[in-house]
A = this chain, B = another copy of it.
Amino acid sequence: MSTTPPSPRERLLETASRLFYAEGIHTVPVDRLVTQADVTRATFYRHFPAKEDLVVAYLRATDARLRGAVETAVARGAAEQGVSAVLDLIGETTCAAGFRGCHFINAAAEYPDASDPVREAIAEHRAWFQQTVTELAARAGHPDPAYAGRVLVLLHDGALAGAQLDDPEAVRATVRRAGHDLLGLPH
């Protein structure tokens, strides 16, 4: 089962994810994207009508990847451990090498227009996450799943926004302790 070599479209998406996340969206020109993806300009515009379409595709691909990561992290334990697994996943994310905040929050900073397709992709991702963690809290028997879900989103946003500017390990510890305190989990 040898994997087929990545198509130009896949190379573009992978390069976009890497560069957009590491350097911001507006600061990465099309020239760098096609050069690093080893693709010609014509190929770029054959797959994406404009740069913004690649931005949306990048966010949707990231969304799909994160859904998978949450699924596998949660599936490892029993229902009561799902919430704790999300807290751990947040900590691992903020302390990973090359961490530079949340793909979606960062993108939102560069796309202020709430009706922009980029913002729609962001909203869809956030709605999924909100719903997922709320269901996790309900399944774990939390008395107020809606509140628990909003707490998890709040801690997630705070961790990813702050850890790139402060000490990531301190943020990880704070998230874990605060999450367990708020949601009645054992330390």
Contact = CB atoms under 8 A, between A and B. Distances in A.
Contacts of A8: none
Interface in A75-121: 100-102, 104-112
Interface residues of A, number: 45
Instruction: Kindly report how many copies of this chain are found in the complex they form together.
Output: 2
B112 A109 contact: no
A121 to B, nearest CB: 12
A162 B157 contact: yes
A27 B27 CA distance: 10
A164 B157 CA distance: 11
A123 B167 CA distance: 11
Interface string A146-162: 01001101111111111
